[in-house]
Amino acid sequence: MDVRIAQDWKEILAREFEKPYFEELVRFVRQEYVTHTIYPAGRNIFRAFDKCSFEKLKVIIIGQDPYHGTGQANGLCFSVNDGIEFPPSLRNIFKEIFDDVGKPIPRSGNLDRWAEQGVLLLNSVLTVRAAQAASHAGHGWERFTDAVVQAIAARKQGLVYMLWGAYAQKKGGMADPTRNLILKCAHPSPLSAYNGFFGCRHFSKANAYLESIGKEPIEW
């Protein structure tokens, strides 16, 4: 399968793209784009891997599935396109960043700027039907993104894993805490943010760790 991703990711994931489950997933997704409104746009399905090369990778943030509202999803978890109102979880993320490191809340919720600095914004499921949350769960994306996390764990250390909520914590559970910084807290959703996301200080902790091992911090 020919997808638009950074070349180093393409080499790492080449064998995964050739597996029977992935070929079946491709058939399913292509049919869905023909018969339903699907987000993100097809060209942006693998955008997280195109904006953040494997070589530049410093931080991993794991989401669940793309936003399913009109114009929101852009291929990076928690991120929205320019000019789109912030979804509640993203609003809470920016609030915590302001409280943690003093960074003013930006005008745009497009997180390309994070990805380009080495933050992999990885959804577990990479596509979704409009207005139908989790509608593409259970069709193979989870297996693919598990393979991504496994490939990272096997090849890289000195990374920061930001695991927000039980789902992300399970997904990132294979990361070695002796070789990386594993940060866990509640999900930034309004339903859980006050149960430990607010006040987690993950953004300053991530930067302190990166600086301690000689890496450039992230400009959140």
> Could you give phi then psi for residue 39, rounded to 5 degrees?
-120, 150
As a whole number of angstroms, the distance between CA 11 and CA 8 comes to 5
Cβ neighbours of residue 137 under 8 Å, at least 6 residues apart?
65, 125
The answer to whether residue 65 is catalytic is yes
Residue 60, token pair as written in the block = 């991993």
Cβ neighbours of residue 34 under 8 Å, at least 6 residues apart?
none
As a whole number of angstroms, the distance between CA 52 and CA 46 comes to 11
DSSP line for 77-91: TT---TTPPPPHHHH
Catalytic residue (one of 50, 65, 100, 112): 65
Angle in degrees, CA 158, 160, 164, rounded to 5: 155
Report, as residue numbers or ranges, the catalytic residues.
65
